[in-house]
Amino acid sequence: MAGAYDDRDGVIWMDGKLVPWRDANVHILTHAMHYASAVFEGERAYNGRIFESVKHSERLLKSGEMLDMPIPWSVEQIEEAKYATLKANGLEDGYVRAICWRGAGEDMGVSSARNPVRMAIATWGWGNYYGDAKMKGAKLDISKWKRPSPETIPSHAKASGLYMICTMSKHAAEAKGCSDAMMFDYRGYVAEATGANIFFVKDGEVHTPDPDCILNGITRQTVIGMLKDRQIKVHERHIEPGELEGFEQCWLTGTAAEVTPVGQIGDYNFEVGSLTRDIAEGYEKLVRS
């Protein structure tokens, strides 16, 4: 599948039924378009099975709760809809995007309690999120934007509005010839990339930011489990910027990113070493098992 995302063949699940791709539209006064009242999930299917599908559906509902936006679909209904959409589009390997939002209704100010919560699921074929960086190591810029305090945003929700500074950071990075940007948090600690969690290796041990103000990614949790199964020490902690110079390896994790090695962050260089490759290869085997 190629071309603009609003002009493709196929179907999209919307509010309980499959509709032609090009007809999956919303009104211009949809609340989410004006006030970012939306939550979503990104998932991948391998050999006809969506990896950790139920966990994603559960998190979608939890994100809705955190935005005071109760989603009128159960985990079981969401699961059925995701697989029905994959099948209808003839996909076994593909990306799955489930999104819920406040639609158009009686409210058009900040408040939207009287507006319906709507849901859609789209699926499409999607290759490596970072292209050939998946093999040779991604190059990351360092963003000027910081992940905010959980006292200011629902930082553990996968909410559309939280990605605004991520989009700006990635645009700035791409303009410099980078694949992505690494962000610090509001305290100045290493946080994450714009759409992926980050891991570092030093002396055979792994260090990754404490997800106290960022999304604790499902892929992140999977990779931590893989490392512990390999008897590798994992430190989930606050990481100071000055520590970047001492790390030997680095990788990103995320549903879209999967496990992507990092070769450079700003002026800091990393090798695509044996542990990085082992985890990347192990993840590929796991999701297809």
What CA–CA distance (Å, rounded) separates 125 from 148?
33
Q: What are the DSSP calls for 107-141, one per residue?
A: --SS--TTSPEEEEEEEE----TTTTHHHH-EEEE
> Where does a domain end: 124, 150, 165?
124
pLDDT in the model for residue 135 = 72
Say which DSSP state 162 is in: G
Paired tokens of 72: 């009128």
* Below-70 pLDDT ranges, the chain: 1-2
200 HSE (CA, 13 A, CB side):
28
What CA–CA distance (Å, rounded) separates 144 from 246?
22
The number of beta carbons lying within 10 Å of the beta carbon of residue 84 is 16
> Where does a domain end: 124, 157, 177?
124
**Do 140 and 108 lie in a common domain?**
no
**Do 159 and 281 lie in a common domain?**
yes
1 within some domain = no
Say which DSSP state 149 is in: P
**Do 172 and 32 lie in a common domain?**
no
Question: Are residues 196 and 257 in contact, defined by beta-carbon separation less than 8 angstroms?
Answer: yes
Containing H/E element for 191?
strand 190-193
pLDDT in the model for residue 131 = 75
How many domains, the chain?
2
Q: Closest by alpha carbon to 262, among 189, 193, 207, 176?
A: 193
Question: Which spans in the chain are helix H?
Answer: 31-35, 53-66, 75-88, 133-136, 164-175, 218-229, 274-287
pLDDT in the model for residue 117 = 98
CATH number (domain holding residue 216) = 3.20.10.10
Q: Determine what percent of the chain falls in helix, strand and coil, rounding each to the nearest 5.
A: 30, 30, 40
**Do 278 and 164 lie in a common domain?**
yes
Identify residue 78 by its one-letter amino acid code: I
**Do 192 and 147 lie in a common domain?**
yes
155 within some domain = yes
106 within some domain = yes
247 within some domain = yes
**Do 98 and 63 lie in a common domain?**
yes
**Do 150 and 69 lie in a common domain?**
no
pLDDT in the model for residue 127 = 84
**Do 218 and 254 lie in a common domain?**
yes
148 within some domain = yes
**Do 148 and 112 lie in a common domain?**
no
> Where does a domain end: 95, 124, 153?
124
**Do 120 and 185 lie in a common domain?**
no
244 within some domain = yes
Give just the sign of the alpha carbon dihedral 60, 65, 68, 69. Answer: positive
- What domain range is 106 assigned to? 11-124
213: phi then psi, degrees, rounded to nearest 5: -140, 15
Paired tokens of 218: 């499902």
- Return the residue matching tokens 């990635």: 170
**Do 16 and 154 lie in a common domain?**
no
Specify the pTM.
0.95
Rg of the chain (C-alpha set)? 19
Q: Determine the distance from the C-alpha atom of residue 120 to the mean position of all C-alpha atoms in its chain, rounded to a whole number.
A: 17
CATH number (domain holding residue 47) = 3.30.470.10
**Do 151 and 19 lie in a common domain?**
no
Question: Are residues 133 and 173 in contact, defined by beta-carbon separation less than 8 angstroms?
Answer: no
Count of helices and strands (H, E) across the chain: 7, 15
